[in-house]
Amino acid sequence: MYLDDFLFLVVFFIGAHLFISFFTLGTVLWPNLLSFKHKRSKYPPTRFNRQRREVAWMADSGQMYYIPWESFHAWITTTTAASDSTFTRQVLLMMGIPDPDKPGNVMVIWQIPVGTEVNGLMQWECIRTFMEEGPDAIPEPRVGKIEREEYYQQREEARRREGNGHYYWQRFKDFYFGKYIAFRFCERVLRQEIGAFPAETEEWSKPLPKKERAKPSEAYKKANAIQKRQYNHGVKLWKG
């Protein structure tokens, strides 16, 4: 009696989880993937030009904007939503440009989920370091990243070390918790074609002679010096 009840609960829980997973895949992830595919093929990504100290961004209207790097905005937001039984926390790295239609306001162009404030700071720091110090100063983008085939290879190595029981249990967890679907989803997204930049942006992207490259303004250098001095004295970049 008790065993039957326990098995029923296990089967019910697994079935409910699989139903929710496939329902979410069909109603949320797949439509979002199609929408992302359309946008990715139509609109080029934001481009950072460190020699000009400018950022190129295409609006939904197809118009290109070239924003001075020193007026580019970035910040991190944290929101918490409460339900009857759980709390969910979302941390976003936000990036924006001065709103051309509303002077003094900022128009958000990117909202990137980053998990924690520290992750958001690290991602922004990679962009900032590229613009200020160059590509050689930022870490390799593959650090900490595991491709699907690499993960499968690691799983096979664990199988040889720990036996079939551990291997099949890991495969079940990969399927149950959506890791397999996540790998497939990311691979499909990365295969999408990226929208082409207009000819004027390609011309704007060409390297400049050293004597023509933009330099940081005095106000910018002064503000950076103040921030570095405060950081060296233990002032936190964020409150948490």
Listing DSSP states for 60-126 in one string gives: TTS-EEEEEGGG-EEEEEEEEEE-SS-EEEEEEEEEEEE-SSSTT-EEEEEEEE-SSHHHHHHHHHH
Q: Does a structural domain hold residue 234?
A: no
Q: What's residue 201's pLDDT?
A: 92
Question: Rounded to whole angstroms, how far apart are CA atoms 67 and 79?
Answer: 28
Question: Rounded to whole angstroms, how far apart are CA atoms 156 and 161?
Answer: 9
Q: Which residues contact 60 (CB under 8 A, 6 or more apart)?
A: 43
Q: What's residue 131's pLDDT?
A: 92
What amino acid is encoded at 228 in this protein? K
Q: Does a structural domain hold residue 224?
A: no
Answer yes or no: do 58 and 130 share one domain: yes
Q: Does a structural domain hold residue 163?
A: yes
β-bridge partners, 78: 91
Residue with tokens 């079940």: 172
Q: Does a structural domain hold residue 20?
A: yes
Among the three residues 138, 161, 194, which one is the final residue of a domain in this structure? 138
Q: What's residue 1's pLDDT?
A: 46
Domain housing 13: 1-42+146-204
Answer yes or no: do 31 and 56 share one domain: no
Q: Which residues contact 213 (CB under 8 A, 6 or more apart)?
A: 51, 52
Answer yes or no: do 96 and 79 share one domain: yes
Among the three residues 92, 110, 138, which one is the final residue of a domain in this structure? 138
14-18, 72-76, 105-109, 214-218: segment of lowest average pLDDT: 14-18
What amino acid is encoded at 110 in this protein? W
Answer yes or no: do 62 and 101 share one domain: yes
Q: Does a structural domain hold residue 1?
A: yes
Among the three residues 138, 169, 187, which one is the final residue of a domain in this structure? 138
Answer yes or no: do 111 and 156 share one domain: no
Residue 210 pLDDT exceeds 70:
yes
Q: What's residue 10's pLDDT?
A: 61
Q: Which residue has the higher pLDDT, 131 or 9?
A: 131
Answer yes or no: do 34 and 153 share one domain: yes
Answer yes or no: do 78 and 130 share one domain: yes
Answer yes or no: do 55 and 133 share one domain: yes
SS3 57: strand
Residue with tokens 């200020």: 132
Answer yes or no: do 64 and 31 share one domain: no
* pLDDT tens, position by position, 5-63: 556 566 666 666 666 666 655 555 666 666 666 666 667 788 999 999 999 988 878 88
Residue with tokens 């405060």: 230
Q: Strands, E, within the chain: which ranges?
A: 47-49, 54-58, 64-68, 73-82, 87-98, 106-113
Residue 133 pLDDT exceeds 80:
yes
Is there a contact between 107 and 96 (Cβ–Cβ < 8 Å)? yes
**What percent of the chain is helix, strand and coil (3-state, nearest 5)?**
55, 20, 30
Q: Does a structural domain hold residue 185?
A: yes
Is there a contact between 92 and 112 (Cβ–Cβ < 8 Å)? yes
Answer yes or no: do 131 and 90 share one domain: yes
Answer yes or no: do 32 and 60 share one domain: no
Structure tokens at 40: 């990715």
Q: Does a structural domain hold residue 226?
A: no
Structure tokens at 128: 């900032």
Answer yes or no: do 72 and 134 share one domain: yes
Total domain count, the chain: 2
* pLDDT tens, position by position, 134-173: 888 887 765 445 567 777 787 788 888 888 887 788 777 7
Output the pTM of the full model.
0.66
Residue 116 pLDDT exceeds 80:
yes
Is there a contact between 127 and 48 (Cβ–Cβ < 8 Å)? yes
